[in-house]
């Protein structure tokens, strides 16, 4: 197995299936003061970008649909950890999926190949892998009612990932920065069928919001403060970490229309009597739409505005030509004690396929300093991506 990397300008990143691996995302990170670097991954004698490289396969039905849309490009974001210390972060990348039996070997080789292209002060590289977890395809990890039991303990996962690697150096990160468990809707059908695939209560709440006169409109920067107030209320209610207002302003303002992988962020507000009561940040990149951030007020919650704005986002995504819609984050199974169980109940109501990704994996270059950072990360909240 051989891998070659070719550095390229971030504007030349080709369109894939994840917003976080686009030229748009690279520009957003640069505007936020971080370095962003792009690479083309060349494996073995692979030349034709229109076909899979030898040894590549997709195991899940959704992954098979995505195979033609996965990019061989990789965006890397550099973040400072302190004086003379950096980390390299690959958000939802690499997109291209190696065979399950050689994922660890492939990541090890990729990590060593990319090392000369990173700052000398780089302590480790972190991959936020979008690949579906191999444990999600293990029948023994499901109950008789087809409920997934989740991933095994970290030691078992690290043993599997490092099998047949040279250095046994891949570590499961203490935290997963992007959602590992999600629901993805197939938008390739008509609206009536989309509604039919939903749970009855979800369909009812969408129609109830319409009967009660909830109005959803797309807006922009001028209404961002109103949305942000609701976002802060939501974060306080659920104990969530907050992004500042400038973060969302930058997301709405950044443009990448002159690049190989543009994207757009849309702000949708649900209103009752012309007053915002719920809203979402919707991202459209290529033919995938992603529900990035949501907010809802407790005022008029019985009008079901969260269902109205979600349905409006789904319809907008379909009209924009998107093939699927990522609801972006749920609990891995229906556990009432899980902090994301409420999101599980809400989002699975819209139908779709549940996906369980592999999450964040680290490859340390400086093990002593990596252990120090790892300990501090385990002791407190992680950074926002």
Task: Examine residue 335 and state whether it is found in any structural domain, yes or no.
Answer: no
In CATH, what number is assigned to the domain containing residue 245?
Answer: 3.40.630.30
pLDDT of residue 64: 56
pLDDT of residue 194: 97
Residues 251-306 pLDDT 10s: 999 999 999 999 999 999 999 999 999 999 999 998 999 999 999 999 999 999 99
343 belongs to a structural domain:
no
Strand partners, 265: 283
Last residue in a domain, options 276, 306, 322: 322
Q: How far apart are the first and last CA of the chain?
A: 32
Residue 333 lies in a domain: no
Residues 171, 157: Cα–Cα separation, whole Å: 9
* 32/161 same-domain check: yes
| Domain finish residue from 297, 322, 347 | 322
What's the pLDDT score for residue 54?
33
| Cβ contacts of 372 within 8 Å, gap of 6 or more | none
| CA-based max dimension of the chain | 64
Q: Report the C-alpha dihedral over residues 271, 276, 277, 279, rounded to 10 degrees.
A: 90
- Does the residue 344 lie in any domain? no
Is 153 found in the same domain as 205? no
Regarding whether 272 and 298 lie in a shared domain, the answer is yes
Same structural domain, 18 and 161: yes
Backbone angles phi, psi at 371, to 5 degrees: -60, -35
Is position 305 within any domain? Answer: yes
Sequence length of the chain is 385
User: Is the domain of 68 the same as that of 115?
Assistant: yes
Does residue 205 sit in the same domain as residue 172? no
CA distances from 271 to 237, 280, 299, 303, 306 (A): 20, 12, 11, 10, 10
Residues 45 and 127 in one domain: yes
Query: How far apart, in whole angstroms, are the C-alpha atoms of residue 103 and residue 163?
Result: 9
198 and 266 share one domain: yes
Torsion angle of alpha carbons 161, 167, 173, 176, nearest 10°? -50
Instruction: For the chain, list residues with pLDDT below 70.
Output: 44-70, 381-385
Number of domains within the chain? 2
What pLDDT is stored for residue 60 in this prediction? 53
The verdict on 215 and 158 lying in the same domain is no
Distance CA 194, CA 140 (A): 31
DSSP 56: B
Dihedral-angle region of residue 343 (phi above 0 means left; psi in -120 to 50 means alpha; beta otherwise): alpha
- The single residue listed with the structure tokens 């083309």 is 40
Tell me, yes or no, whether 158 and 198 share the same domain. Answer: no
Say if 151 falls within a structural domain: yes
Rounded to two decimals, what is the model's pTM?
0.91
Q: Is residue 125 located within the same domain as residue 31?
A: yes
Range of the domain at 242: 189-322
Domain membership of residue 173 (yes or no) is yes
- Which residue in 46, 291, 269 sits closest to 179, CA to CA? 291
Which pLDDT value is given to residue 62? 59
Residue 15 covered by a domain: yes
Co-location of 145 and 250 in the same domain: no
267 and 252 Cβ atoms separated by less than 8 Å: yes
Q: Is 123 helix (H, G, I), strand (E, B) or coil?
A: strand
């Amino acid at each position: 197995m051989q891998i070659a990397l070719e550095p390229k300008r971030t504007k030349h990143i080709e369109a894939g299936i994840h917003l976080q691996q686009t030229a748009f995302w690279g520009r957003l990170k640069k505007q936020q003061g971080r370095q962003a670097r792009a690479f083309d991954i060349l494996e073995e004698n692979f030349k034709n970008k229109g076909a899979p490289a030898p040894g590549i396969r997709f195991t899940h039905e959704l992954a098979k649909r995505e195979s033609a849309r996965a990019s061989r490009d990789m965006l890397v974001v550099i973040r400072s950890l302190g004086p003379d210390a950096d980390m390299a972060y690959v958000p939802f990348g690499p997109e291209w999926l190696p065979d399950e039996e050689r994922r660890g070997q492939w990541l090890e080789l990729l990590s060593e190949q990319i090392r000369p292209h990173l700052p000398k002060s780089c302590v480790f590289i972190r991959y936020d892998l979008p690949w579906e977890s191999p444990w999600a395809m293990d029948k023994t990890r499901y109950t008789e009612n087809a409920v997934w039991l989740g991933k095994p303990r970290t030691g078992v996962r690290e043993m599997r990932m490092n099998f047949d690697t040279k250095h046994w150096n891949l570590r499961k990160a203490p935290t997963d920065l992007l959602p590992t468990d999600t629901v993805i809707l197939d938008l390739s059908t008509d609206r009536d069928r989309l509604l039919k695939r939903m749970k009855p209560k979800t369909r009812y709440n969408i129609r109830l919001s319409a009967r009660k006169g909830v109005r959803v409109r797309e807006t922009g920067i001028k209404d961002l403060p109103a949305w942000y107030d609701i976002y802060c209320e939501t974060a306080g209610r659920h104990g969530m970490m907050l992004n500042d207002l400038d973060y969302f302003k930058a997301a709405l303002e950044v443009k990448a229309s002159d690049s190989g992988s543009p994207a757009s962020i849309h702000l949708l507000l649900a209103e009752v009597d012309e007053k915002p009561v719920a809203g979402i940040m919707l991202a459209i990149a290529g033919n995938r739409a992603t529900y990035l951030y949501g907010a809802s007020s407790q005022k008029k919650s019985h009008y079901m505005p969260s269902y109205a704005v979600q349905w409006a986002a789904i319809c907008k995504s379909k009209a924009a030509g998107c093939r699927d819609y990522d609801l972006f984050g749920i609990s891995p199974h229906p556990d009432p004690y899980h902090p994301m169980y409420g999101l599980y109940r809400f989002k699975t109501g819209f139908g779709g396929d549940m996906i369980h990704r592999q999450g964040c994996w680290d490859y340390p270059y400086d093990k002593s300093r990596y252990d120090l950072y790892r300990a501090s990360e385990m002791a407190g909240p992680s950074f926002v991506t």
